[in-house]
Amino acid sequence: MADNHKSAYAVLGLHKGASLDDIKKAYVQLVKKYDPERHTDRFMIVQNAFDRLKTPASRAREDVRAFNYIRGEFFFSAEEKTQLADAQIDQGLRQLEEKINSGQVDRAAATPKLIQGLMMRSYKRVQKKLWAEAIEDWQRVLELDPAHRRAKNNLLYSYITLGYSYASHGLYDEAVDVLKRAATMNPDGTEIIHNLALACEHAGRVEEARRYWQEVIKRWRAQLNQDPDNEYLKACLVEALKEKGQSGEAPAEEKAEGGAPAQARGTQEPSAPRAAHSVEDLREILRLNPNDFESHFRLASLLYNEQKWEEATKELEEMQRRFPRNIEVLNLLGWAMLNSGRIKEAFMVWRRARTMDPKNPQITESLIKANMSIGRTLRDKGLYTQCLVHFKELTRYLPENDEVHYEIGLTYQLKGDERSAFQEYQKVLKINPRHRGARHGLSSLKLRR
């Protein structure tokens, strides 16, 4: 249902920033309205929304990704709240400006009256929600008197409100435009900068989004330094660091044939997404929340992708101690160890993982690729006996694979064991009579007899 993708606040009929008491009251009212037995789907949506807001950590996760509803109001003096007709106000302003332009009235002396007329007209336009026209009036007032407090407040609040409205309707580029104006007027407004980060992100303006996220994170860090026990703020900072990293994910590396990246010997892509997090950001997340599995795995994967095998291994070994039965962790640990030169330990990790989950295709594929890669490397070095150990292990996973038996036959032939080579080549041709390598190998062996 569409409601599943709504902000939790929207589901409960609230704005972001509502108190926990308001959230509980809204939840109770909706539960009374949507009985779980008669309105099961709707009740589940309401329950899910409440669950997303009831703890500091879950609420932070929601709040960091939700636009701020920044409260405020328009200010007008009693004289500016006029009941005059629009035509009368327009006519008065027009006549005053004509007198100023013709020199009949001194501009400086007439400015207060001109400002009052513009503020009166803007009040009428606000009543009719003619925002663009009201904004023009406030801009003119500030041209005449840059320190005019009510015009400045009203212009800023209109930009903030329009930005929120545009974002709520999916008009993210328009939201960015007016929110930038708001940020210029109020550079200390962290909620405005936060809204800009979200609007840029939704608009696909990756670099701008990242720049605004960095500013939000900088300000939240400063606040946390002043209030280090604030669990909600700590959770917000963790989520913001994640969001900054996910703004514009890096594309996956191009893979060589067989699924492994072309540049790294004996490796395969880590299972975690290749997001544009930095090592520093991920370490900060873990400092704030040591139990964040996703961020810890991202850190290990990032180190792995940067071919920092020892550092990746260290992180994955720590994860293994905490999550000893997590197959993804064990699989990546195997590859990190293999690239670190800890070959026996790598295979021990994979075999242990396969014992836990014998049908897991990820582990089986890793064992196949690793044995094949190490076997070929050892054969290239003339270490045929050790090489055969790895190739023969492949027959446990691929007993009827022609390429596996061909590699074994070729190794026997290079080792000088022609009888064993002849037998393996025959197995290959029994599986695949058209295998050119095996046919050529048999022919060369026959010529020597």
Under 8 Å between Cβ of 235 and 277: no
How sure is the predictor about 447, in pLDDT bands with cuts at 50, 70 and 90?
confident
Query: Which residues, including other chains, have CB under 8 Å from residue 77's CB and lie 6 or more apart?
Result: 119, 150
Please tell me the predicted confidence (pLDDT) of residue 243.
Answer: 83
DSSP 261: B
How sure is the predictor about 3, in pLDDT bands with cuts at 50, 70 and 90?
very low
Query: Which residues, including other chains, have CB under 8 Å from residue 420's CB and lie 6 or more apart?
Result: 409, 412
Reported as a single tens digit per residue, the pLDDT across 116-125 is: 999 999 999 9
**CATH architecture for residues 86-244:** Alpha Horseshoe (1.25)
Query: Residue 37 in 3-state DSSP?
Result: coil
Quickly count helices (H) and strands (E) in the chain.
22, 0
Please tell me the predicted confidence (pLDDT) of residue 276.
Answer: 62
Q: Please state, in angstroms and as integers, the Cα–Cα distance from residue 160 to each residue in 128, 185, 195, 246, following that order.
A: 18, 11, 9, 26
Q: What is the mean pLDDT of residues 173-197?
A: 97
Please tell me the predicted confidence (pLDDT) of residue 104.
Answer: 87
* Residue ranges, CATH 1.10.287.110, the chain: 2-54
Please check the confidence at residue 37 and state whether its pLDDT lies above 90: no
Reported as a single tens digit per residue, the pLDDT across 298-310 is: 999 999 999 999 9
The listed CATH number (3.40.470.10, 1.10.287.110, 3.40.50.150, 1.10.10.10) that belongs to domain 2-54:
1.10.287.110
Please check the confidence at residue 1 and state whether its pLDDT lies above 70: no
Please tell me the predicted confidence (pLDDT) of residue 247.
Answer: 57
Q: What is the mean pLDDT of residues 126-141?
A: 95
Q: What is the mean pLDDT of residues 46-67?
A: 92
Query: Which residues, including other chains, have CB under 8 Å from residue 316's CB and lie 6 or more apart?
Result: 300, 329, 332, 333, 336
* Residue ranges, CATH 1.25.40.10, the chain: 86-244, 372-449
How sure is the predictor about 269, in pLDDT bands with cuts at 50, 70 and 90?
very low
Please check the confidence at residue 295 and state whether its pLDDT lies above 90: yes
Cα–Cα distance, 316 to 346 (Å, whole number): 12
Under 8 Å between Cβ of 30 and 12: yes
Q: What is the mean pLDDT of residues 141-157?
A: 97
For the structural domain made of 372-449, what CATH number should be given? Answer: 1.25.40.10
Q: What percent of the chain has pLDDT over 90?
A: 77
List own/partner pairs for 340-349 with CB under 8 A and 24 or more apart: 340/309, 340/310, 340/313, 342/313, 343/374, 346/370, 349/320
Cα–Cα distance, 199 to 176 (Å, whole number): 6
